[in-house]
């Protein structure tokens, strides 16, 4: 069994949706298990203020987001919301269409890491 990832994607009609994907393990050794290597385009560290709520917006690029210390509530344009907690990983791919809403959880400042897998 691999690593669970939340995936926010856009369909052909421009609507965003959630699905669950799994990153499979490709190797296992004395240091643990690893997946295959994906091409990345840098790393972005982000601090989001507690009162930061964003209206509808598409993701700026395909990227993984890892929450470090607080959660965020994301709502897809189809209406489904998910709270992504600290330590959870999201692959955002809704780079076209209506996008998603972002809302802070429990009025907490959030630190996260963005790992772009597409230039942008």
Q: Does the residue 84 lie in any domain?
A: yes
pLDDT score of 1: 82
Tens digit of pLDDT for each residue in 80-106? 999 999 999 999 999 999 999 999 999
pTM, 2 dp: 0.93
User: Which domain does 65 fall in, by range?
Assistant: 3-12+40-116
Q: CATH no. for residue 63? A: 2.60.120.10
User: First-to-last CA distance in the chain?
Assistant: 32
Question: What total of structural domains would you count in the chain?
Answer: 1
Tens digit of pLDDT for each residue in 40-72? 999 999 999 998 899 999 999 999 999 999 999
CA-based nearest residue to 70, from 86, 54, 57: 86
């Amino acid at each position: 069994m691999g690593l669970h990832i939340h995936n926010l994607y856009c369909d052909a009609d421009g609507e965003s949706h959630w699905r669950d994907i799994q990153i499979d393990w490709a190797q296992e050794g004395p240091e643990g298990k690893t997946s295959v290597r994906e091409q990345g385009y840098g790393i972005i560290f982000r601090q989001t203020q507690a009162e930061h709520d964003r209206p509808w917006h598409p993701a700026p690029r395909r990227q993984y987001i890892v929450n470090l210390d607080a959660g965020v509530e994301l709502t897809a344009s189809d209406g489904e919301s998910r709270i992504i907690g600290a330590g959870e990983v999201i692959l955002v791919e809704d780079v076209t269409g209506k996008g998603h809403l972002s809302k802070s959880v429990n009025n907490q400042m959030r630190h996260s890491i963005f790992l772009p897998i597409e230039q942008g």
